Amino acid sequence: MQRICKRFLSTTLPNLRKVQATNLKGKKKSSQEWIQRQLNDPYVQKADVFNYRCRSAFKLLEIDERFKILQPDKEQVIIDCGAAPGSWSQVAKKYSGPNSTIIAIDKLQLYPIEGVHILGNQDFTTAHAKLQELLDDKKVHVVLSDMAPNATGIKSMDGENIVTLGYSVLKFAVTVSELDACLLIKLWQCAEAKKLEQDMCRFYESVKVVKPQASRSDSAEIFLLGRHFKGLSTA
């Protein structure tokens, strides 16, 4: 039933009338275009209807609908890296087992989410010890990362920076994950991404490049999904 509900909310919302932005006087053209796009983005509208904090919820919903990362009949331990504003943690809480442990961490302050452990104002790349302490020797079933660095506009530098973040998540995941666990990492399309994909294959039986429909077509955003963690001893 839960899977059916997710499919319903992600595909059946009626098209809404185009909204024309007002009060744009004095704003740069790029800002005006961004506001206009947000107002007419169907996923922004869906997020409002279904009480998700931002449109990115539908990226995780689509990926989970296809690959079944979240297990509503199991108690899972889930880490949401770069969680702000919290929409992926909302999805994780809703579609994992009722007694699952969900930890959300971000450099930004995170408003509380019922049933989610919040680590706001914390840099994931330097907070591994704190996460390990919070886990209290529990093994992790799902590591999610929607993190991205601030873009510089220099493609090679931006690609290198986001892949460096991805390696930080991979390093953490392989040290805390249960056998058969999943890892989902956001990247941008770049030459460096292929190396990370190859290295993930050392630890996960299946590694796929995924681009959900909720990811804008003009965006370089992709996701690497590793499934069935093999453990460190077999890597």
Domains belonging to the chain, first-starting first, are 2-49 (no CATH), 57-229 (3.40.50.150)
Q: Which amino acid is at 135?
A: L
186 is catalytic: yes
Query: Which residue, 223, 111, 88, 101, is CA-closest to 169?
Result: 223
Q: How far apart are CA 25 and CA 17, in angstroms?
A: 23
Given the DSSP bridges, would you call strands 221-229 and 177-188 parallel, antiparallel or unpaired?
Answer: antiparallel
Give yes or no for residue 6 having a pLDDT over 90: no
Instruction: Calculate the alpha carbon distances from 39 to 32, 57, 67, 134, 193 in Å.
Output: 11, 17, 30, 39, 32
Strand partners, 226: 183, 207
**What share of the chain in percent tops pLDDT 70?**
80
Query: Which of 7-16, 169-178, 202-211 bottoms out in mean pLDDT, i.e. has the lowest?
Result: 7-16
Angle between helices 42-49 and 57-67 (to 10 degrees): 90
Q: What is the pTM of this model?
A: 0.83
For 29, the token pair is 């053209």
Q: What's the average model confidence in pLDDT over 13-34?
A: 48
CB within 8 Å of 90: residues ≥ 6 apart: 52, 53, 57, 113
Q: How far apart are CA 92 and CA 113, in angstroms?
A: 11
168-204 core/surface letters (b: 16 or more CB in 10 A; e: else): bbbebbbebbeeebbbbbbbbebebbeebbeebeebb
**pLDDT recorded at residue 209:** 97
**H or E element: which one contains 196?**
helix 191-200
8 Å CB contact between 178 and 141: yes
**pLDDT recorded at residue 202:** 96
Confidence tier at 46 by pLDDT (50, 70, 90): confident
**pLDDT recorded at residue 50:** 82
For 32, the token pair is 């005006």
Q: How far apart are CA 69 and CA 95, in angstroms?
A: 10
8 Å CB contact between 149 and 158: yes
Give yes or no for residue 152 having a pLDDT over 60: yes
The catalytic position among 59, 93, 186, 230 is 186
Q: What are 169-205's pLDDT values in tens digits?
A: 999 999 999 999 999 999 999 988 999 999 999 999 9
Given the DSSP bridges, would you call strands 117-119 and 140-145 parallel, antiparallel or unpaired?
Answer: unpaired
Query: Which residue, 134, 111, 125, 131, is CA-closest to 170?
Result: 125
Give yes or no for residue 155 having a pLDDT over 60: yes
